Amino acid sequence: MSGLNYFQKAALNRLGDIMCPRNGEFPSFSDLDCIHHAHIVLDEIPAQDLKDLKLLLFALWFMPAPLMRIFLFTLERMKDIGGEAGTLIRMLQFGLRGIAFALYYSDLKGPKAISQQTPVNVIGFEVAVQKN
Amino acid sequence: MSSIDWDLIVVGSGPSGGRIAADFVKKGAKVLLLEAGSFFRAKDFPKPEISSSAQMFWGGGAELSTDARLGFLRAKCVGGTSVVNQALLDRFDDYVWSEWKNITGINFSDAYIAEDYEAVEKSVTLQTIPEKAFGKNTRLFLKAFEKKNFGWAPLRRGQSHCDVENGNDCMACLGGCPRNSKQSTLVTSVEPSLEKGLTLIPNCEVNSIEDYDSGVVVKAVLNKKDQATYKAKALVIAGGSFGTSKILLQSGFEKKLPALGKGIACHPQYMTYALFNEPIDAFKGAFQGVKSYDDNLRKMGLKFENVFAPPIATAMLFAGHGRKHQEEMKRYRYLASMEVAIRDEASGSLSIGKGGKLLVNKKITDQDRARADKGVGFVREMYSQLGAKEVIACEQGFGLHLMGGCAIGTDEKKSVVNPEFRVHGTKKVFVADSSIFPSAPGLNPSLTIMALSQKAIPFIERSLA
């Protein structure tokens, strides 16, 4: 049961667009419809972590984009503090950056993508190995 | 105990477990190999990076320490770490042996393990990357080292036919080598043994074990849902530092063995990128060809390698997000990078949290921090001397060499495994993986894990007699 519901998808797309906006050659997170491939990561996350992530995304759905920007900025600024608050901030940051960047730089697009090229194309990463 | 189905059960199919299982199959034993991860082969290794990271590592890519300051990359697939690492096969040196001898009371030395090293080295193809195949990232590393008067050496790699001269890019093999050139345990031990009668059960996570005079019972969960029980004359637990310790902790061994789950080390690694005017294309061709080889750096507890990271990993390593982050990523082709790994204090510990979650309490000590700062400082200095436009030192440390938790030794109060690789107080339970390391060696551990496993084989054999 790793799939995201409507609210969680909307929150992840909003979060993704703040972390990975449309910028010159770079498409935005939602331009790629990369959320279509979120199951690749979500299927492998430990059950409790997945439950926490879904809850967090649902909570973020209520957060308008400007507030979400402030939220992410605050996480970044406060990631080095000590104690349990610092631990929570680093975990949140690692988890949110992890899912957003993993999808954005996956080189995968969804069926509703409106961008021709992926961020991997933009940065020029290309590797190949000939099989035996 | 009711009927025994197997001579030997091996839990974990990485450099230790895969090798031991293969040896006993050759000897004609009935061997069951249990692996928590999935069974991928050259033809179906998950690609691209998002898939290999999610499907071949615990935690869906990475796990965090309890204070979330360190990330851990722990392989979860048949062949274990050996499938997803760079197959760097170094012998340990006297810095390690003398320290281990002092800690454990065991006569560790070059002589102690020489035959085992030789046996392992004969069983794999070892190569170094020829200088003509060095890419720009490697050449910059060498230039930097020469300017700084640091010694270097080619990395000895377990590989047979990478053929980088003809356009193969080794970075593509981080999620498993589609050419089967990488000398992983999957290629050298597991796949050949399957043809000779080895029984392999992937997606089988062992929860606990019971040790009896007549044999062992292993309790596991198959495919995340079905309970399973297996019985054997003897058991080898080879789940690596975290996996092996977790199984023994869940089996209640910490009551008798206070050292269980203690002494965790991980060689925290810090990447530093440098921006140059011309494209470096560090991801093309041969990938990790050289390392530091310098007595002074060794004494400082520092090891440098010329590595690079694929896009998702690089995005995670760069701080922040948004347009500035994208602009940094856009310079990807113009980036060189170098990694410093530190010989850390084995100060971490493992415990079991809510819902059976493994908690890794591993903090960077003051000594570790000082070493990391020193190492990153050297890299900054070296790249600046080469005319880098900008140097980006990544704050996030990662542990890839997970060690300790079941230290070997003679004293039951300070160790978990005896000098014959048997868990103290048990009759038939053996461990020879990286969990038995009593301290961090500061060198790539794979070859020594295999050699120690080789050394354990006669003791395991005796228990089956």
E-strand ranges in B169-298 read: 199-201, 204-212, 215-222, 226-237, 262-265, 269-275, 290-292
The string of pLDDT tens digits covering residues A54-100 is 999 999 999 999 999 999 999 999 999 999 999 999 999 999 999 99
Distance CA B247, CA B253 (A): 9
Average pLDDT across chain A, whole number: 95
Q: Which of these, B137, B116, B48, B210, lies nearest to B432 by C-alpha position?
A: B116
Q: Does A74 touch chain B (CB under 8 A)?
A: no
Q: Does A4 touch chain B (CB under 8 A)?
A: no
Q: Does A73 touch chain B (CB under 8 A)?
A: no
Instruction: Tell which of A93, A105, A115, A126 to mutate to test the B interface (max B CBs under 10 Å).
Output: A105
The string of pLDDT tens digits covering residues B159-218 is 999 998 888 999 999 999 999 999 999 999 999 999 999 999 999 999 999 999 999 999
- What phi and psi values does residue B111 have, to the nearest 5 degrees? -65, -35
E-strand ranges in B132-225 read: 152-154, 157-158, 199-201, 204-212, 215-222
Who wins on pLDDT, A1 or B204? Answer: B204
CB contact under 8 A, B326 and A100: no
Alpha-carbon distance B397 to nearest alpha carbon in chain A (angstroms) = 12
Nearest CB to A123 within list B43, B59, B311: B311
Q: Does B38 touch chain A (CB under 8 A)?
A: no
Instruction: Tell which of A127, A130, A131 to mutate to test the B interface (max B CBs under 10 Å).
Output: A127
Torsion of CA A70, A73, A74, A80, to 10 degrees: 180
Distance CA B103, CA B173 (A): 37
- Give, rounded to a whole angstrom, the gap between the first and last alpha carbons of chain A: 38
CA distances from B16 to B23, B152, B161, B400 (A): 11, 29, 24, 16
- What phi and psi values does residue B286 have, to the nearest 5 degrees? -65, 145
CB contact under 8 A, A87 and B67: yes
- Give, rounded to a whole angstrom, the gap between the first and last alpha carbons of chain B: 18
Query: Which distant-in-sequence residues (6+ apart) come within 8 Å of B222 by Cβ?
Result: B201, B203, B204, B228
CB contact under 8 A, B61 and A98: yes
Q: What is the mean pLDDT of residues A29-58?
A: 96
Q: What does DSSP say about strands B6-11 and B31-34: parallel, antiparallel, or unpaired?
A: parallel
Alpha-carbon distance A6 to nearest alpha carbon in chain B (angstroms) = 23
Q: Is pLDDT at B366 greater than 80 in this prediction?
A: yes
The string of pLDDT tens digits covering residues B257-302 is 999 999 999 999 999 999 999 999 999 999 899 999 999 999 999 9
Q: Does B114 touch chain A (CB under 8 A)?
A: no
The string of pLDDT tens digits covering residues B4-28 is 899 999 999 999 999 999 999 999 9
Residues of A in contact with B36 (CB under 8 A): none
Q: Does B179 touch chain A (CB under 8 A)?
A: yes
Alpha-carbon distance B446 to nearest alpha carbon in chain A (angstroms) = 24
Alpha-carbon distance B224 to nearest alpha carbon in chain A (angstroms) = 10
Instruction: Please classify residue B458 by burial: count the beta carbons closer than 10 Å to its beta carbon, then call 0-12 exposed, 13-18 middle and 19+ buried.
Output: exposed
Nearest CB to B323 within list A23, A91, A132: A23
Residue B390 · residue B272 · CB < 8 Å: no
Average pLDDT across chain B, whole number: 96
Kindly identify which residue of chain B lies nearest to residue A69, measuring between CA atoms: B322
Q: What is the mean pLDDT of residues B38-52?
A: 96
Give me the DSSP letters along A38-72: THHHHTTS-HHHHHHHHHHHHHHHTS-HHHHHHHH
Q: What does DSSP say about strands B6-11 and B302-305: parallel, antiparallel, or unpaired?
A: unpaired
The string of pLDDT tens digits covering residues B389-417 is 999 999 999 999 999 999 999 999 999 99
pLDDT for A131? 77
The string of pLDDT tens digits covering residues B122-172 is 999 999 999 999 999 999 999 999 999 999 999 999 999 999 888 899 999
What tokens appear for B290 in the block?
């050289």
Distance CA B18, CA B11 (A): 9
Structure ipTM: 0.97
Instruction: Please classify residue B387 by burial: count the beta carbons closer than 10 Å to its beta carbon, then call 0-12 exposed, 13-18 middle and 19+ buried.
Output: exposed
Alpha-carbon distance B50 to nearest alpha carbon in chain A (angstroms) = 6
Distance CA B359, CA B351 (A): 5
The string of pLDDT tens digits covering residues B210-258 is 999 999 999 999 999 999 999 999 999 999 999 999 999 999 999 999 9
Strand partners, B352: B358
Residues of B in contact with A127 (CB under 8 A): 169, 171-172, 283-284, 310
Quote the DSSP letter at residue B109.
S
User: Which band of pLDDT confidence, cut at 50, 70 and 90, is reported for residue A1?
Assistant: very low
Instruction: Judge if the upstream peptide bond of residue B311 is cis by omega within 30 degrees of 0.
Output: no
Q: Which of these, B189, B124, B192, B135, lies nearest to B159 by C-alpha position?
A: B124
CB contact under 8 A, B54 and A125: no
Q: How many CA atoms lie within 13 A of B276 on its CB side?
A: 18
